[in-house]
Amino acid sequence: MLSIKDLTVNVNDKQILKGINLEIKPGEIHAIMGPNGSGKSTLSHVLSGKAGYTVTGGTATYQGKDLLEMAPEIRAREGVFLAFQYPVEIPGVSNVYLLKAALNSIRKHHGQPEVDAMDFLTLVKEKVRLLEMDEKFLYRAVNEGFSGGEKKRNEILQMAILEPKLCIMDETDSGLDIDALKIVAEGVNSLRSPERSFVMVTHYQRLLDYIKPDFVHVLAHGRIVKSGGPELALELEEKGYSWVEEAAA
């Protein structure tokens, strides 16, 4: 699905990622944990194509293609989805329109006809129920005036409708209370499939109580300093990050 080799990235001439290696196979869930400033968000931004990051070395191959060469919207149409840490408000553009436009551009990208309006609404309403959202949200401007939890749920709603192959979740659990976290986790878990992979970037172990990862990687100072199974997350929870940082130093 995704193969990252020796990836190095600069921001404003400062090296943030210092050689990342990561192999993600279809159906796997990888959690990337690390202290603040370790490069977690940089990794998710670089993979989704945000401007302002200079790749100075290494590769990221997604389904056999050079991911880093693609414009952000092409990555999205190819099935890479970034769930934002801070979803952006887009006043004046309705949620339902953006969902439909996004879905149709994915279909067009794959040579499929546009979605039927009725089928689309049925699909959307089903997913809205799954995430326990109010249907009214659909007709409001994207994220405008949404609470933090509602914004995060809206990200998962988009994910559920666009059915990406690789979901990159950037600090999805931050700002969520436990009830909202459960709903979000349930949404994510319902999307698990042998064809779909997840990269969950998170500071907190709590999310992993609800979405069980296959692998946990610890990022510190721009490198993956330790990889393991779900038990590594528990160890981090118990001991904090200082011991891995020390090990990395």
Partner 1 sequence: MSTAMASRYTAEYQSIASALPGQDLPWLQALRTEALAQFAEQGFPSPREEEWRYTNVSGIEKKLFAPSMDLTAGEINADWLEQYRMADAWVLVLVNGHFSAELSVLDGLPEAVSVMSMANALAVQPEIVEKYLGQAVDHAEHGFIAFNTAWFSDGLFVHVPGKLVLDRPIQLLHIVNKADAMATTRNIIVADDMAELKVVETFIGAEAYLTAAVTEVFVGQNADLTLYKMQSESEKAYHYGGSYIKQARDARFTHHNFAFGGLLARSDIHVDLDHASECELNGLYLGVKRQHIDNHTRINHLKPYAISRELYKGVLDDRARGVFQGRVIVAIDAQKTDSQMNNRNLLLSDDAEADTKPQLEIYADDVKCGHGVTVGQLDEKSIFYLQSRCVDEETARNMLTFAFANEMVDKIKIRTLHDMVLEQVLARFPQEGVNKEWL
Judged by the rule CB under 8 A, the positions of this chain that interact with partner 1 are: 48-51, 71-73, 75-77, 81-82, 84, 87-94, 97-98, 101-102, 105-106, 109, 141, 158, 162
Q: Pick the closer one to partner 1 by CB: 51 or 249.
A: 51
Cα separation, 243 vs 104, in Å, equals: 48
Rounded Cα distance, 201 and 44, in Å: 8
CB of 158 to partner 1, least distance (A): 7
**CB nearer partner 1, residue 155 or residue 226:** 155
DSSP bridge partners of 201: 32, 170
- Looking at residue 111, its amino acid is G
Q: HSE on the CB side for 249, CA within 13 Å?
A: 6
Whichever of 98 and 121 has its CB closer to partner 1, that residue is 98
Q: Closest distance between partner 1 and the C-beta of residue 86, in Å?
A: 8
Return the HEC string of 116-144: CHHHHHHHHHHHHHHCCCCHHHHHCEECC
Q: Of the two residues 70 and 234, which places its CB atom closer to partner 1 in the complex? A: 70
Burial zone of 52 (CB within 10 Å; 0-12 exposed, 13-18 middle, 19+ buried): exposed
Q: How far is the CB of 203 from partner 1 (least distance, A)?
A: 21
For residue 48, the minimal CB distance to partner 1 (Å) is 6
- Closer residue to partner 1, CB minimum distance, 75 or 152: 75
- Residue 191's CB is within 10 A of a number of other CB atoms, namely 16
| CB nearer to partner 1: pick between 57 and 72 | 72
| Cβ-proximal residues to 180 (8 Å cutoff; 6+ apart), any chain | 149, 152, 153
Rank residues 92 and 194 by Cβ distance to partner 1 and give the closer one. 92
Q: Residue 157 Cβ, how far from partner 1 at the closest point, in Å?
A: 12
Min separation Cβ 15 and partner 1, Å:
22
Q: How many residues would you count in the chain?
A: 249
β-pair type (215-220, 197-202): unpaired
Supply the minimum distance, in Å, between the C-beta of residue 168 and partner 1: 10
CA distance 116 to 132: 24
